[in-house]
Amino acid sequence: MAIEAIGLTRRFGDLTAVDQLSLDVVTGQIFGLVGPDGAGKTTTLRMLAGLLRPTDGEARIAGYNARTESGQVKDRLAYMSQRFGLYGDLSVDENIRFYADLYGVPATERSDRVNELLTFSNLHPFRTRLAGALSGGMKQKLQLACALIHTPRVLLLDEPTNGVDPVSRRDFWKILYQLLNQGTTILVATAYLDEAERCNRVGLLSQGKLLVSGSPAEVKQSMPDHILSIHSSRARQVRQVIQSRLEYLPCNAFGDRVHVVCPDVTETRNRIQHILTEAGIDVEGITEEPANLEDVFVHLLGEPMPEQKPSRLSLPVEHLPDRSGSPDQPKPTVVALTRLTRRFKQFVAVDAISLQVRQGEIFGFLGPNGAGKSTTIRMLCGLLTPSDGTGTVAGYDIRQQPEAIKQHIGYMSQKFSLYEDLTVQENINFYGGVYGLSGTRLADRKAWAIGMSGLSGKSHSITGVLSVGVKQRLALACAVLHAPAIVFLDEPTSGVDPLSRRRFWDMIYGMAEAGVTIFVTTHYMEEAEYCDRIAMIYHGRMIALGTPLELKTNMTDRYILDVQCAKPQEILDAVATLPEVHDAALFGAGLHAVVADSEAAEAAIRNLLKIRGIAVDRLAPVLPGMEDVFVSLIEASIGRTTGTGNRS
């Protein structure tokens, strides 16, 4: 057994972070550990790595006790924490050499191993670049290369792909599967449940206890209820209507689909159809779908107690443009950009972006790490002066009136912008002072913010001890304390578990319904589906603009084949190199193959799997998802830049 936890327990004072945890990971397998924020995932990994002494129980790596035989464990283990353990002022080469010294890699073995890792991670062209100048995806691959310098038998990864775009995530998982083929055993804690689908086994951790474990298929079979999927271009309105009439049934929107969890499919389908007909809402279809891991995750964790549940947004909005006139009239434009550009010396971070965003719109801003998303938002918030171009936000000029803009917007950065050594109440007071709130007005807003964050009775708690999901809601409450007309959210859900993400988006929907404009960047392609419109940027240029449905249906020259079979990672390269296949990538528990002729490609893939003796569970065309669109647009842009086709 490569990894064993036997009654593993860790207490911090009165808090039991990990409670009698027992699990094992077979050599050469990958185990996915999922759970809400504060479930004990990081504490578990630190005990397995020998960095934290258990209160009770035992952790073993490759047969050695992590606490009493730390020397033997160190030689066989690599641990990649959530925070990049890199030195920003050292180059890629220098960081790898530092870790080689740390692990005592002999000089005779070092050169070949370094070259192997640089090739393995595609970092050869960047070996002299400072680590601090790398994108998030490249930093992630460099840290993995540093961890692998001594060829470990066991690899522990603590949410390694948080805040990383889909292209970089795909590259990272290709590397993990190469490691598996070399015999490395991997335990990965992840907030992405599509990644958990790719593991041999998964475990759901909550409040330090393992609720369920097994293969992804076994875990999904533990879902006792059924999933009804309602397809509609008015998904948010569908969800509102169903929740108002069938509030006892869990209901969530996923782009142009609404999932309803129910015990009886036929009865519930009939009731929903009747309710929507009464409301005058047409739908494309109501079908039963198999549960995915996120459905199981949310079902097992359940809803919080009433006193812990965040309230819907009911804060009056003070700064909205005039909405008088006919409801059929277009809503006013609140963000307008014309050829907005920002240069840092010779580097063009944002290159002539033009767009308009209307009042009450949820506008998504997508792109790979380093594409220019955050730089654009900083200009819109009056924090950075453009090099060229013009723009207005809430009617104010971003060049001439940055201070006025700051009073009419809310801004939530990637790091949540909270002071962790202050209490909840002190953080709210601080932001109230920044926005000029005082007296009764501040007291009313403070009460609203605490309720919205689900922190009733906890206003004196130190912010640093709150879970990531609760900090996220508190940060949003602080950002909109002054009831702004426009809110900018820069990757607000990075590293947040699925349940917290759902609650957070409930709050966003509430603000949009009140007429607040939401401008959001995200790396979760599922979240992109929640937006009214999306702009995609790459190397500072806008490469696409439209609704999620428009962007998906615009992939007219390519089809997506969904391939479901056992161990899809083992056939990934073979499928990708078929003449009939343009590209292939891991997608959830299977593969998505991008093809020009779906019939010819389907026949070729079936033949390949037959030759290899692999049974086909599903092989059929599907509508592209936002991740497919994202990757396709990036590859097309690379092709235009280099003058080559998309295929490498």
| Domain boundaries, given as residue ranges, for the chain | 3-216, 224-290, 359-385+402-546, 556-642
425: tokens are 């109440």
Q: Is the pLDDT of residue 605 over 90?
A: yes
Q: Is the pLDDT of residue 415 over 70?
A: no
Lowest mean pLDDT among 168-172, 213-217, 424-428, 544-548: 168-172
Please give the pLDDT value at position 368.
80
- The fold of the 3-216 domain, in CATH, is Rossmann fold (3.40.50)
At 556, the pLDDT band (50, 70, 90 cuts) reads low
Q: What is the pLDDT of residues 366-387, one digit of tens each?
A: 888 778 888 999 999 999 999 9
CA distance 195 to 405: 40
Q: List all residues 6 or more positions away from 576 whose beta carbon is below 8 Å from its beta carbon.
A: 583, 584, 593
For the beta carbon of residue 32, count every other beta carbon within 10 angstroms. Answer: 26
Nearest alpha carbon to residue 648 among 6, 312, 171: 171
Q: List all residues 6 or more positions away from 23 whose beta carbon is below 8 Å from its beta carbon.
A: 3, 4, 5, 31, 203, 210, 213
At 328, the pLDDT band (50, 70, 90 cuts) reads low
Looking at residues 250-277, what average pLDDT do you find?
Answer: 86
Q: Is the pLDDT of residue 325 over 80?
A: no
615: tokens are 């049974």
**Higher confidence at residue 338 or residue 566?**
338
Q: Is the pLDDT of residue 4 over 90?
A: yes
Please give the pLDDT value at position 186.
94
Cα angle, residue 486 at apex, residues 483 and 488 outer, rounded to 5°: 110
Does the model's pTM come out above 0.85?
no
Q: What does pLDDT average to over the chain?
A: 84
Q: Give me the phi and psi of 519, to 5 degrees please.
A: -115, 110
Please give the pLDDT value at position 166.
80
Per CATH, 3-216 and 359-385+402-546 having the same topology is answered yes
Please give the pLDDT value at position 58.
93
CA distance 161 to 184: 19
At 84, the pLDDT band (50, 70, 90 cuts) reads low
Cβ proximity of 225 and 267 under 8 Å: no
Please give the pLDDT value at position 483.
85
Please give the pLDDT value at position 304.
46
Cβ proximity of 85 and 143 under 8 Å: yes
Q: Is the pLDDT of residue 316 over 50?
A: no
- The fold of the 556-642 domain, in CATH, is Alpha-Beta Plaits (3.30.70)
Q: What is the pLDDT of residues 502-552, one digit of tens each?
A: 778 888 888 888 889 999 988 778 788 888 999 999 889 999 999 888 888
Count of residues in the chain? 648
Q: Give me the phi and psi of 65, to 5 degrees please.
A: -70, 125
At 224, the pLDDT band (50, 70, 90 cuts) reads confident
Q: List all residues 6 or more positions away from 390 whose beta carbon is below 8 Å from its beta carbon.
A: 337, 338, 339, 340, 397, 398, 399
CA distance 181 to 415: 36
Looking at residues 453-462, what average pLDDT do you find?
Answer: 85
For the beta carbon of residue 338, count every other beta carbon within 10 angstroms. Answer: 14
Q: What is the pLDDT of residues 31-62, one digit of tens each?
A: 999 988 778 999 999 999 998 999 999 999 99
Cβ proximity of 480 and 511 under 8 Å: yes
Q: Is the pLDDT of residue 312 over 70?
A: no
At 217, the pLDDT band (50, 70, 90 cuts) reads confident
Q: List all residues 6 or more positions away from 556 whose beta carbon is below 8 Å from its beta carbon.
A: none
Place of tokens 């401008």: 519
What SS3 class is residue 534? strand
Looking at residues 243-249, what average pLDDT do you find?
Answer: 84
Nearest alpha carbon to residue 164 among 146, 130, 186, 140: 140
Q: Is the pLDDT of residue 364 over 80?
A: yes
- The fold of the 359-385+402-546 domain, in CATH, is Rossmann fold (3.40.50)
What SS3 class is residue 642? helix
Q: What is the pLDDT of residues 125-141, one digit of tens each?
A: 888 989 888 876 778 78
Look up the CATH number of domain 224-290: 3.30.70
Looking at residues 13-30, what average pLDDT do you find?
Answer: 92
Contacts of range 393-396, beta carbons closer than 8 Å, 24 or more positions apart: 393/334, 393/335, 393/486, 394/319, 394/321, 394/334, 394/485, 394/486, 395/321, 395/334
Please give the pLDDT value at position 323.
45
Looking at residue 91, the DSSP 8-state letter turns out to be: B
Taking CA atoms, 614 is separated from 177, 214, 563, 572, in Å, by 18, 22, 12, 13
- What is the enclosing helix (H) or strand (E) of 590? strand 590-595
Q: What is the pLDDT of residues 145-170, one digit of tens each?
A: 888 888 789 999 988 887 777 877 88
Spell out the SS3 assignment of 97-116.
HHHHHHCCCCHHHHHHHHHH
At 11, the pLDDT band (50, 70, 90 cuts) reads very high
Q: Is the pLDDT of residue 86 over 80?
A: yes
Which range has highest mean pLDDT (87-101, 105-119, 244-258)? 87-101
Q: Is the pLDDT of residue 112 over 90?
A: no
Please give the pLDDT value at position 643.
47
